[in-house]
Structure 1
Amino acid sequence: MSRLDDELGALASLSPAQLREKWGAMENTAPPSVPPALLRQLVAQRLQERRHGALPVLIARELRRLAIEGPGAEPARPRVELTPGTRLVREWNGQTVTVEVLEQGFTYADRTWRSLSEIARHVTGAHWSGPRFFGLTCNG
């Protein structure tokens, strides 16, 4: 048996006070205010993370989403919130395209536009997804 296995096995015999003490020693913080059974699981998780490493952030986020929405749910696409005053800059064929976000729409080339896609179409001469053209989507 490994040292980690021994530590995990020993958690079952720890009292709530000992669990809180172990958490404090490991994390240098007060333990969360949770029932002893949950604290035991949290301590076990921390011990395993220290030995094997934590889950990557994207995997942890997806697991949280699945726990909330259920296994059949489609992954949510992250949305970028554009606040008025934000500037989007893109270089296209040697030209710098600078767009400012307004309350209602966008400004580019001294005009107001309803959507980023209209601007992308104007700049490129082809149909583009505006958010994709300006790098606001994950699929690039």
Structure 2
Amino acid sequence: MDRAALLAAWSKTFGSPAPKGISRTFLRRFLAYEVQAQQSGHLPKAVATALMRPANEGRPKIPAPSLKPGGRLLREWNGVTHVVDVTDGGFVWKGETWRSLSAIAREITGAHWSGPRFFGLNGKAKS
């Protein structure tokens, strides 16, 4: 089909004009999918229902670790023990205040780490 025929098919199938600037390849693929979906009865009901639910619904909620001012985190990395104190204003490591544990973990390791994971607050940290 040429572009004009694809645009006409889009309008007939969806009852509205195709988005401006859409490529012929995309028009062709989208229309082919829609024709197949109509012939096979669209998605199974369970799948359609699952897609309509919020992404985090039905998942068990894992409580975030509560870090209270005065708490202390210890982590040994490459033979060095790092001590982080929890304060009202963030976290103190090597006499400097940091806003996040992840920033401290990145400084210690030189790589991106989840701070809570690095300090073992969710039980998954590994040396």
Q: TM-score, normalised by structure 1?
A: 0.47
Specify which of 121, 125, 128 is matched with residue 113 of structure 2.
128
> Superposed, which structure 2 residues align to 1:1-140 within 5 Å?
73-140=58-125
Q: Which has the higher helix share?
A: 1
Q: Secondary structure at the match of 1:101?
A: strand
Shift of 1:133: 0.2
The offset of 1:128, in angstroms, is: 0.4
Misfit runs of 4+, over 3 Å: none
Secondary structure of 2:84 counterpart: strand
Residue 55 (structure 1) aligns with: none
The alpha-carbon deviation at position 139 of structure 1 amounts to 3.9
Structure (1 or 2) with the larger CA radius of gyration: 2
**Identical amino acids, percent of aligned pairs:** 57
Structure 1 CA distance for aligned equivalents of residues 119 and 96 of structure 2: 18
CA RMSD of aligned residues (A): 1.2
Partners of 1:91 and 1:78 lie apart in 2 by: 25
Instruction: State the shift of 1:104 in Å.
Output: 1.8
Equivalent residue pairs, number: 69
